[in-house]
Amino acid sequence: ATPMSIMVATGRGAHEGVLVRNAEALETLEKVDTLVVDKTGTLTEGKPRVTEVIAAEGVSEGDLLRAVASLERASEHPLAAAIVAGAEGRGVALGAVKEFVSVTGKGVTGVIDGWCVAVGNVALMREERVDASAMAQRAEALRRDGRTVMLVAIDGKAAGLIAVADPVKGSSPEVIDALRKSGLRVMMVTGDNRTTAAAVAEKLGIEFEAEVSPEGKAEVVRRLQKEGKIVAMAGDGVNDAPALAAAQVGIAMGTGTDVAMAAGGITLVSGDLRGLLRARRLSEKTMKNIR
């Protein structure tokens, strides 16, 4: 496209909440045949709410929440915000964290009140050599209801779990439908657990890959590209940045992290996937004008 037509499209896009950072992304979008899309914060609200707090024997719910929420206050993950809000809503006072470490796609660790605390998924527990088998059944039952379950370890021992519900965005089903009708293959990739992911994917009627690491998401994109697909990736998190950068068109949610927005060529300001339909129409129009 000419610089002029791109400029016009960029201006029009900005008006409609589609920020074009990279002209090539806009030019390519109309040719995209495969959309890889993140779950948490992209297809779902990304505003999860704590629904269950289950403390292991000998651990009080208050202590569990204090430890976990104090730690999560230092994280920018949407799950972290849910836990902090859940703890505050239950009147739990938070403490200071030392040695905070964020393990992207797995969880967080740190020291609170002299306790070593780890909060995250099964992979994190494995990494921390925590035997979480006593919580496995309850966790799995919650996942079948679509909950995301975070396991908690204190000083290397399973201390409980916290479950959150993150509803699918109201606009997601219709957007997925419209994208499909326009000939796109839509595929959800998520770092979340397989059972939870299946519950969400089933609601939307889409294919999915679960328990995918941030680098794994980029590999999914590259694999599809090797098959000759022209791939767009939509995501919001730090964990999506490698895939956003690998895709021909990276689409970041404006409600997400700065890292994601820096990695994407297009930002949907309101974080609404309907913006993707607008962006695609904009791309079609722009390219048609010059042909």
Reduced to 3 states (helix: H, G, I; strand: E, B; else coil), residue 234 is strand
Could you give the string, one character per residue 26-65, with x where binding to Mg ion holds by CB under 5 A and - elsewhere? ------------x-xx------------------------
Does position 146 interact with Mg ion (CB under 5 A)? The reply is: no
Identity of the residue, 49 or 285, whose beta carbon is nearer to ligand ADP in the bound complex: 49
> What is the contact mask toward ligand ADP in residues 115 to 134, using x (rule: CB under 6 A)?
----xxx-------------
Which two three-digit tokens encode residue 93? 């006072």
Residue 26 or 200 with smaller CB distance to ligand ADP: 200
Q: Which two tokens stand for residue 146?
A: 């679509």
- Which structure tokens are listed for 149? 């379950």
Helix axes 3-15, 274-290, angle to 10 degrees: 160
- How far lies 165's CA from each of 24, 255, 270, in Å? 37, 19, 21
Query: Judged by CB, which is closer to ligand ADP: 45, or 72?
Result: 72
CA distance 124 to 130: 9
Selection from Mg ion, ligand ADP, none that 190 binds (CB < 5 to 8 A by kind) is ligand ADP
Q: Which of 9, 27, 73, 106 binds ligand ADP (CB under 6 A)?
A: 106
Residue 72 in the binding site for Mg ion (CB under 5 A): no
Residue 107: beta bridge partners? 103, 120
Q: Which stretches does DSSP call E strand in the chain?
A: 18-20, 34-38, 49-55, 97-103, 107-112, 115-120, 148-154, 157-165, 185-189, 207-209, 231-235, 249-253, 266-268
Our finding on whether 146 is near ligand ADP (CB under 6 A) is no
Among 10, 75, 172, 286, binds ligand ADP (CB under 6 A): 75
Hey, how many other C-beta atoms are within 10 angstroms of the C-beta on 57? Answer: 8
Choose between 26 and 252: whose C-beta lies nearer to ligand ADP.
Answer: 252
Residue 38 among the catalytic residues: yes
Please state the closest distance from residue 191 (CB atom) to ligand ADP, in A: 2
- Under a CB-based contact definition with an 8 Å cutoff, are residues 251 and 19 in contact? no
Which window, 26-34, 193-201, 235-243, 266-274, contacts Mg ion (CB under 5 A)? Answer: 235-243
Considering only CA atoms, which of 71, 38, 90, 2 is closest in space to residue 260? 38
* Residue window 186-225: x/- pattern of binding to ligand ADP, with contact defined by CB under 6 A: ----xxx---------------------------------
Residues that bind ligand ADP (CB under 6 A): 38-41, 72, 75, 77, 79-80, 105-108, 119-121, 148, 150, 190-192, 237, 239
Residues that bind Mg ion (CB under 5 A): 38, 40-41, 236-237
